Amino acid sequence: MRKGVIHEILFDAAWHHGDSEVVSGAMRFTYAETWERTVKAARAMRRLGIRRGDVIGILDVNSHQALELQYAASILGAVAHPLNFRLPLDHVVHTTRQGQDRILFASRAMEPTVEALRPFVPQVIWLGQGRPGHGDAAGSRADFDYEDLLSGEEAGSTPDPGVTNSDPYSLLHTTGTTGRPKAMRYRHRDIVQAPLQIAHHLALHKTGAKLTAGDVVMPLIPFFHIHAWGAPIFAPYLGLKLVLPGKATPAEQLHLIQTEGVTWSNMVPTQLMMLLEAARDAGDAVLPLKVLTGGSRLPAGLAARAHQAGVRFSVIYGGSDQLCTAITVSPHLPGSREDLEALSARLAPIPMVRMFIRGEDGGTVPADGQSVGELWVESPWLPDGYVGDEAATQATYADGGFRTGDLAVAHPDGTFSVVDRVKDAIKSGGEWIIPSAIESVLSELAGVRMAAVIARPDERWGERPVAILAADEPVDLSAVEAHLAQAVADGRLARFWLPDAIHIVQDLPLTSAGKVDKMALRATFAAT
């Protein structure tokens, strides 16, 4: 009997699309071969004592082995826990301890991190190539090599511990930008439904990142970010060739796009910027690629450069504590500046999701495209809260919905636009200033790679905006001021939104999710 659990998706891919490929570094496997390896991994884990409900730590880049482990965990009824290796080391330790990981599968390229985690995991299994070389710190249990475990398994029946779609499947963590990362448990039906609804939304609507039957998918979003925004779930569901880039540089990603025929990818805006730079450096004026981007607002300048280079894109909205819930749409593709703005900002909820905006008084704001309030989400796949953090749960999950902490406006056509984080918005003289709108205008300047606007305390107005620009070459401040003044004249910015100060730097600090670290910027520039 079918149960609607995760591993049934890979089983169906092996049965219906058995010849479609999974490419990972120098390795190539069909979906049929990937399923066979996944069953062997599940059988090997069961032999090591992993049972239903045990947490499986996975510390690796996007690789075929990490993909297999996420499906093998499903077969056993274990809980997949992809670890965010980009977090500070003490946060990685915290997430491992909080997850109570029963076993750790780790890339041998991350050995220093593994040594810090050894006291908290009973068993380490090495991923990648090569031999293990030593036992654990206590000398009580030897490490194993993943490929050795698989080679020691004979072909046999698939374990069946009686997993249901209401069983927990994955443990995900926030990126911890406001404190220690918080954990959420998701059920099988959550991680089945949400990615498939993403695929359906992209296929049905006028979106730049439309999915079709002939696409080749390369997820640049790491598995630890909501299972790469669902790509390793919906790619086999659709029978699409899946290219896993590992730790490829932007230049190497460009090479994979060209040699493997990649047509669709997902990435944060900073990754898109670096990929465009790699294409420019390689002399490629055109990059025919469909991109699903998100994690932070897509600046207008970057959107224009991407479109000019041949990239067609959509923006996705969501997070580790709500999964993915909306994707931008446009009435016409491709098109004018208005269409680019729609694809950068006009979000439509994916099927089965309801989104609404509440004002400061708790009431619903009108859908007039102007009234700003806090965005709330309702969906069938919301978790029941943060693991072991009742206070944060009560503050965020209420009345059957999720309080996102984002400011947004609703439009009459049923779409909405996220304008900024509540914590990043600037309240000046009792009026909101939206930093992301100023950042988008600044991104249009030649030579400006990235822009950030933060609040600076002000005795008279409460807060005032300060802009920080990352540029590789000297930037004429008078040209910046003239560009901002023109945006005011065009009605794109209010005059009182203009920054009181502008700083030029080489680079902006980034969080583990690839977003601009505004906390670090405030610590440096809020008093200047």
| Each residue's pLDDT tens digit, 180-230 | 889 999 999 999 999 999 999 998 888 889 999 999 999 999 999 999 999
Domain 353-409+417-423 adopts which CATH fold? Luciferase; domain 3 (2.30.38)
> Are the CB atoms for 421 and 405 separated by under 8 Å?
yes
pLDDT tens digits, residue range 72-87?
999 999 999 999 998 8
State the pLDDT confidence band at 465, using cuts at 50, 70 and 90. very high
> Are the CB atoms for 405 and 262 separated by under 8 Å?
no
State the pLDDT confidence band at 297, using cuts at 50, 70 and 90. confident
State the pLDDT confidence band at 461, using cuts at 50, 70 and 90. confident
Cα–Cα distance between 201 and 196 in angstroms, integer? 9
DSSP conformation letters of 16-80: HSTT-EEEETTEEEEHHHHHHHHHHHHHHHHHTT--TT-EEEEE-SS-HHHHHHHHHHHHHT-EE
Cα–Cα distance between 58 and 61 in angstroms, integer? 9
Query: What per-residue confidence (pLDDT) applies to 236?
Result: 98
Average pLDDT over residues 426-448: 84
Query: What per-residue confidence (pLDDT) applies to 481?
Result: 92
Query: What per-residue confidence (pLDDT) applies to 83?
Result: 97
State the pLDDT confidence band at 136, using cuts at 50, 70 and 90. very low
- What separation, in Å, do the N-terminal and C-terminal C-alpha atoms of the chain show? 65
Which residues lie below 8 Å from residue 362, measured CB to CB, with a gap of 6+?
none
pTM: 0.84
pLDDT tens digits, residue range 386-414?
999 999 999 999 888 999 988 899 999 89
Query: Which of 91-95, 164-168, 180-184 has maximum average pLDDT?
Result: 164-168
DSSP conformation class of 283: T
Cα–Cα distance between 424 and 444 in angstroms, integer? 21
Burial annotation 50-84 (CB, 10 A radius, 16+ → b, else e): beeebbbbbbbbbbbbbbbbbbbbbbbbbbbbbbb
> Are the CB atoms for 242 and 63 separated by under 8 Å?
no
Which percentage of the chain shows pLDDT scores above 90?
62
Domain boundaries, the chain: 7-20+28-188, 353-409+417-423, 426-525
In this predicted structure, the answer to whether residue 286 has a pLDDT above a threshold of 60 is: yes
Which CATH class, in words, describes the domain spanning 7-20+28-188?
alpha beta
pLDDT tens digits, residue range 324-379?
999 988 766 656 666 777 778 889 999 999 999 998 788 888 888 888 889 999 99
Q: In the structure encoding, which two tokens stand for residue 32, read together? A: 């049929």
Looking at domain 426-525, which of 3.30.300.30, 3.40.50.1580, 2.170.8.10, 3.90.1580.10 is its CATH number? 3.30.300.30
Give the three-state DSSP class for 321. Answer: coil
> Are the CB atoms for 31 and 13 separated by under 8 Å?
yes
State the pLDDT confidence band at 131, using cuts at 50, 70 and 90. low
CA distances to 255, 271, 378, 444, 508 from 279, in Å: 10, 12, 40, 19, 22
Q: Which residue has the tokens 């980009």?
A: 86
Query: What per-residue confidence (pLDDT) applies to 138?
Result: 36
Query: What per-residue confidence (pLDDT) applies to 337?
Result: 67
